Homo-oligomer: A and B are copies of this chain.
Amino acid sequence: MTTAGTLTVAGLGPGDEALITPEVRAALDAATDIVGYIPYVRRIAPRPGLTLHESDNRVELDRAAHALDMAAQGRRVVIVSSGDPGVFAMASALFEALENRPGTPDDIDIRILPGITAMLAAAAQLGAPLGHDFCAINLSDNLKPWSVIEHRLRMAARGGFAMAFYNPRSASRPHQFGQALDILRDECGGERLISFARDVTKPDQCLHTVTLAEATPEMADMRTVVIVGNADTRRVGRYVYTPRRA
């Protein structure tokens, strides 16, 4: 009989160690194996009895299958994600791998441990731009057509939502974020506030708030979370906030 292993997906937060929850810290301390994208695994200190398994970007399903295999063999496996594992991160990929796996899905003890996701860390640094109804949209078209993203931007704007964008711009698709800004200007007008939060809570953190009229695609890259306010979003002193009324 094999001792049952465990599989935990843990959110490391956006970068600052003081944002890692005690629940996640305890899971990391109890792990025999830590699996994840290279820069996230490198945030974990090596120790005896712990094996670190680094993998490249865009191999989420292979990584999840490997973690499931090790858990099935009785290991205490932790998949590490940046931010919150349930927000554009490894939790969904894990369940996809579980669905594809032969056997009973409930054989393996799976736990998802939430973390501070980038948009909420960015919002806190900026003030409270997500203080009213809001949407989170992944602007990468790796896993969905760009036309779906354009449609979502328009529906979110017409619904009066504030918006947070993950993966706004990458070297492989430099023009799309400019198209997103055009759609937003079309739907929301040029006066709407947009904030760029790069390397949130890390030593090089950079925050920048402008109007949509002033925004340019170069203000974002893959290390940036972008937050667009709703029609009432405003500045008070150095802060940006969205009132609770609308």
What's the Cα separation between A129 and B112 when bound, in Å?
12
Q: Does A98 contact B (CB under 8 A)?
A: yes
CB pair B19 A19 closer than 8 Å = no
Residue A116 contacts which of B94, B114, B241 (CB distance < 8 angstroms)?
B114
Which residue of B is nearest A246, CB measured? B144
Please name all residues of chain B whose beta carbon is closer than 8 Å to the beta carbon of A113 when the two chains form the complex.
124
Can you name the residue of chain B whose Cβ is closest to the Cβ of A100? B236
A106 contact set on B, CB distance < 8 A: 237-238
Interface range on chain A: under 10, 10 to 19, 20 to 34, or 35 or more? 35 or more
Provide the bound-state CA to CA distance between A117 and B131, in Å.
12
**Smallest Cβ-Cβ distance to A237: which chain B residue:** B105
CB neighbours of A96 from chain B (8 A): 241, 243-244
Is A135 a contact of B134 with CB atoms below 8 Å? Answer: yes
Shortest CB distance A139–B (Å): 10
> CA–CA, A60 to B152, complex, Å?
33
- State A156–B43 Cα separation when bound (angstroms): 36
A132 x B138 contact (CB < 8 A):
yes
Flag whether A197 is at the interface (Cβ < 8 A).
no
Which residues of B have CB within 8 Å of A213? Answer: none
24 interchain pairs (CB within 8 A)?
A: A13-B21, A21-B21, A84-B120, A86-B123, A86-B129, A86-B131, A88-B132, A91-B128, A91-B241, A92-B128, A94-B128, A95-B127, A99-B234, A112-B123, A114-B120, A114-B121, A115-B116, A132-B138, A133-B152, A135-B135, A143-B244, A152-B161, A155-B155, A155-B159
Besides the contacts A92-B244, A99-B236, A105-B236, what 17 more A-B pairs have beta carbons closer than 8 Å? A18-B21, A19-B21, A85-B124, A91-B241, A92-B132, A92-B242, A95-B236, A98-B239, A104-B237, A106-B237, A112-B127, A114-B123, A115-B116, A116-B116, A117-B120, A156-B159, A159-B159
